[in-house]
Structure 1
Amino acid sequence: MGSPICPDCYDYLGHVVWQYHAPELWRRAIQDVSRQLAARLGVPVSKVSKVVSRQYGRTAEMQARGAVHFHALFRLDGPLDEGIGAACGVGVDVMVEAIEAAFSRAQVQAPPTFECDQSRVLRWGEQIDIRIVREGSRTDDPDAPITGEQVAAYLAKYSTKDTSLAVPDGAHVHRIKQTCAEVHEAAILRAESRRAGEEVPVPVDSEGRDHYVLIGKWAKELGYRGHYSSKSRCYSVTYRTLRRRRARFQQVTKSRCYSVTYRTLRRRRARFQQVMQEETERAQRAGKPVDLAAVEEALLSQEDESETSVVIGVWEFVGVGWTNQGEVEIATAAAARAREYAQLRAGKQ
């Protein structure tokens, strides 16, 4: 495990090229899912978000041989402007067909790594496994439908998996890192040749840089330059919202006794119920789901006066130096003693 059967026959260069371009291949496949949905629903791509919106959460995992593969959870929501998790009237079969079509046709043209090398067409392999997540509790029956609890456990495991344990650090890993270094060195030499005005047959990217000039930066990741965990913007709560809620939590729990009184808790609970009731009635009148972001904004905008911190940013120049002659004499004596002590230490040495 962790090493090819025949190291001399193994395509280390192709391995590194796949790792380096895997994030771009994923991006193109995800974009094409929206196009496939639009084609099956009979709407333009620019207006598909007014009918349905595809959301996903994805984790990357390193296999024992050091090759990256992905685990993703897709969700088909209603119109994007109705918020996260809006009801959707489109069947799950449409989503499955769109994913299968998008990932089967997605490809990336990887440029050559050396002048004597050739370009490669990268695609997803035959190991694409699409399963429908059903409602229910966790089960250990392998033939039973997969449930949301199982998916959450899978994604948590892959997100916290230690790559150093999954990929043993041996000759195989060393060879992958060495290949990354060789490709990086060749890219640097080509860049210097271009600056010198020489003609280089290997193409450059849209910014005029060599495609592999940054691969040395990702050698420690075995050439993979993507995030190990990513999600679409409306898949779940954003990091910005999480930061705001953490700040809100710290503000709520901060008091003179480092706790919250029951009176404060009752007041905040009543305030939350009032805001939630108002937003629920507003959503029912509009025929839309409750906007949790609006609830949060209302709670944060109306803070209690006792919890408000007043920051005064007015500065006035008072002066420099010591305020009286006594402080001057004390400081002068302290400086003299420090010099004497330094001279004594220097004499002993």
Structure 2
Amino acid sequence: MTLSTLPVVPDATTASGTAACAEPATVPTWWARSIDLTKQAVARAARPDYEAWLTHVKPASACVRPVRLAGTIATVEAATGRLLAERSTADMPDGVIYKPCGNRREKVCPSCSKLYQNDAYHVVRTGLIGGKGVPDEVAHHPAVFPTFTAPSFGEVHTRVVKRHTCARRTDCDCRPEPCHARRDLSVCPHGIRLACFARHSNEDTRLGTPLCLDCYPYAAQAVWNLGAGELWRRTTIAVNRYIRRLARQRGIPDVETFTNDGQIRQVPPVRLSFGKAAEMQRRGVVHFHAIVRLDGVDPFDPAAVVPPPPGIDAHDLVAAIDHATATIGYVTAAHPARPGGWYIGWGEQQLTKVITVAGLGEVTDGQVAAYLAKYATKATEITGHTSARLTNDTIDVYADPTGTHVERLVAACWSLAHTRWRCPAALCQHHHTCPACVEHRAAKAAPTTTPFVRLRRWAHMLGFGGHFLTKSRRYSITFALLRDNRVVYRRTQKAGPEQTAPDTEPTTLVVNFLEFVGAGWRTPADAMLANTSAQMAREHAENARQYLNTLAA
């Protein structure tokens, strides 16, 4: 593991009034154990190794909850395996190595999620314009941007603006339509009138909640979240088959390729590459934003990305996606609560836009990349629920079959998985007559089916267990490539270009014998000092960038 020796904040020679660290001062030793955050920070800054500590924690200085690793780092000769050097973390500040947590969720760690969002932006946009090893010709491949939504499970409070006059949708203050304005006096079986005349604001907590909590089919929504990944897989297969069938109808010949044993094989002349981001809606159900790109097939290099044959354009992709979303669906396995299974299919609100690079179409590559990268760092925060993976000890905190909308959804996930459930209703502890206990007894009467067991693992995600950003193999670059390029850049910045030879085989190997010893900063003062230093470094870099742009202009 290579650690940077650059100061966290700018030197006094490059920016007036700043320094790598303050001059040590004499302070009482008990300040380090004080409950006063200011005294803790002064005690840390007064230590002789404060400058070395700042340099040591720089890789994770902006992280909210870094990982602490302890052990030894060995340098080995690659050719012979001879041990050249060995260093222990006991000789480093705090006796550990700080590594960023790498969490993609913005609510968990803003710094690491911002880095993940930037990488996701490049992964998505590279598949549309090329670069970083992807041919630049992909910018001319037909590509569309479809949105796949979930079906309606019941009427919920919504905010609909038919005509926007705002400049930014994120700060929209336009006048919405009434939520569910009705003249009739229809009521549900529980006596709740199914109407709402309120014009909800963006901050209204009622958005996404059902008009009647007792009528809402929470089990069906939880199972749909669980089966959304399988529905997406079946949809991609259907879109591929539609396009290949269309190529045959239009007389586009198949491509002859060679198998590994030298045999000639006929393959379709077109194939599709996908990129997908999942977004959690306020009602607690996911929908997908995807990128579908049309590629050709190289007979001599099946892994190459080549232009598609003429005769199929982006409008054919739109037709293929519309056909797949209208026809694809499946029925889940039987469950004791529903012996016939649940039907999993897409909703009616589907929208597909054509992507262009020149900005002449419905949506540009930059807009699509920024949109998908934004949702790659989000999860269930919009529903008001944030928690780690639930266990038998923590399920009672977040699940309640008679509670709020999200609590009922978590309870549905837990009960459908046939796990042990303790009903929180006071009267039900002795009589066991509430609907949750009746459903639990019915579930225990039949064996558990494998697919629904996963609902327990993903109850904290309201049943959705898929990745929030995925792509097909040939669509674009990988996150690992971006991380490797970042490591090479940092090592080049430290050693100098003349001392770095990335094209040659390394003569030494760095082998880490490290183990996890904890997470988070040791004290709140350490967190404050590290985060402040990282913020100062970011501000200095931003000022330098603006200054260089001014000189260039």
User: 1:171 maps to which residue?
Assistant: 404
CA contact under 8 A between 1:63 and 1:167: conserved in structure 2? yes
CA contact under 8 A between 2:235 and 2:328: conserved in structure 1? yes
Q: Alpha carbons of 1:247 and 1:235: their partners in 2 closer, same or farther (altered >3 Å)? A: same
- Structure 1 CA distance, aligned partners of 2:338 and 2:271? 45
- Structure 2 CA distance, aligned partners of 1:31 and 1:48? 19
User: 1:24 maps to which residue?
Assistant: 230
CA contact under 8 A between 1:15 and 1:67: conserved in structure 2? yes
Structure 1 residues 332-343: aligned runs within 5 Å: none
- Structure 1 CA distance, aligned partners of 2:338 and 2:413? 17
User: 2:465 maps to which residue?
Assistant: 225
Q: Alpha carbons of 1:220 and 1:98: their partners in 2 closer, same or farther (altered >3 Å)? A: same
User: 1:73 maps to which residue?
Assistant: 291
- Structure 2 CA distance, aligned partners of 1:128 and 1:249? 43
From 59, 80, 97, the counterpart of 2:319? 97
Q: Alpha carbons of 1:19 and 1:162: their partners in 2 closer, same or farther (altered >3 Å)? A: closer
User: 1:152 maps to which residue?
Assistant: 369
From 489, 493, 510, the counterpart of 1:249? 489
User: 1:51 maps to which residue?
Assistant: 269
Structure 1 residues 76-87: aligned runs within 5 Å: 76-79=294-297, 81=301, 85-87=305-307
Deviation at 1:105, TM superposition (A): 1.9
Q: Alpha carbons of 1:51 and 1:179: their partners in 2 closer, same or farther (altered >3 Å)? A: same
> How many equivalent residue pairs?
250
Q: Alpha carbons of 1:248 and 1:259: their partners in 2 closer, same or farther (altered >3 Å)? A: closer
CA contact under 8 A between 2:209 and 2:283: conserved in structure 1? yes
Q: Alpha carbons of 1:67 and 1:252: their partners in 2 closer, same or farther (altered >3 Å)? A: same
1:214 corresponds to 2:454 = yes
1:260 corresponds to 2:496 = yes
User: 1:180 maps to which residue?
Assistant: 413
Deviation at 1:116, TM superposition (A): 5.3
From 206, 209, 214, the counterpart of 1:8? 214
Deviation at 1:2, TM superposition (A): 2.7
Larger gyration radius, structure 1 or structure 2: 1
Deviation at 1:118, TM superposition (A): 3.2
1:37 corresponds to 2:249 = no
Q: Output the amino acid matched with 1:7.
A: L
* TM-superposition CA deviations, 1:90-148 (whole Å, max 9, x none): 3222222222222222212112332554312211111111111123349xxxxx72221
- Structure 1 CA distance, aligned partners of 2:269 and 2:333? 38
From 209, 215, 237, the counterpart of 2:477? 237
Q: Output the amino acid matched with 2:496.
A: V
Normalising by structure 1, report the TM-score. 0.62
Q: Secondary structure at the match of 1:214?
A: helix
User: 1:111 maps to which residue?
Assistant: 333
Deviation at 1:231, TM superposition (A): 0.5
User: 1:331 maps to which residue?
Assistant: none
1:123 corresponds to 2:321 = no
User: 1:333 maps to which residue?
Assistant: none
CA contact under 8 A between 2:254 and 2:269: conserved in structure 1? no
Deviation at 1:64, TM superposition (A): 0.5
- Structure 2 CA distance, aligned partners of 1:160 and 1:48? 41
Bigger strand fraction: 2
From 278, 289, 300, the counterpart of 1:60? 278
- Structure 1 CA distance, aligned partners of 2:288 and 2:473? 19
User: 1:320 maps to which residue?
Assistant: none
Q: Output the amino acid matched with 2:457.
A: K
Tell me, which stretches of 5 or more residues in structure 1 are unaligned?
A: 139-143, 189-198, 205-209, 269-298, 314-349
CA contact under 8 A between 1:66 and 1:222: conserved in structure 2? yes
Bigger helix fraction: 1
Deviation at 1:264, TM superposition (A): 5.8
Structure 1 residues 190-339: aligned runs within 5 Å: 204=449, 210-253=450-493, 258-261=494-497, 263=498, 300=503, 302=504, 308-310=506-508
Q: Alpha carbons of 1:177 and 1:148: their partners in 2 closer, same or farther (altered >3 Å)? A: same
Deviation at 1:312, TM superposition (A): 11
Tell me, which stretches of 5 or more residues in structure 2 are unaligned?
A: 1-206, 258-264, 386-402, 422-443, 512-553
Q: Secondary structure at the match of 2:492?
A: helix
Q: Alpha carbons of 1:220 and 1:32: their partners in 2 closer, same or farther (altered >3 Å)? A: same
Q: Output the amino acid matched with 2:237.
A: Q
CA contact under 8 A between 1:84 and 1:235: conserved in structure 2? no
CA contact under 8 A between 2:254 and 2:267: conserved in structure 1? no
* TM-superposition CA deviations, 1:50-70 (whole Å, max 9, x none): 522211110101111101111
CA RMSD of superposed structures (Å)? 3.4
User: 2:107 maps to which residue?
Assistant: none
Residue identity (%): 32
Name the structure, 1 or 2, with higher relative contact order (CA <8 Å, separation 6+).
2
User: 1:161 maps to which residue?
Assistant: 378
Q: Alpha carbons of 1:174 and 1:311: their partners in 2 closer, same or farther (altered >3 Å)? A: closer
CA contact under 8 A between 1:133 and 1:146: conserved in structure 2? yes
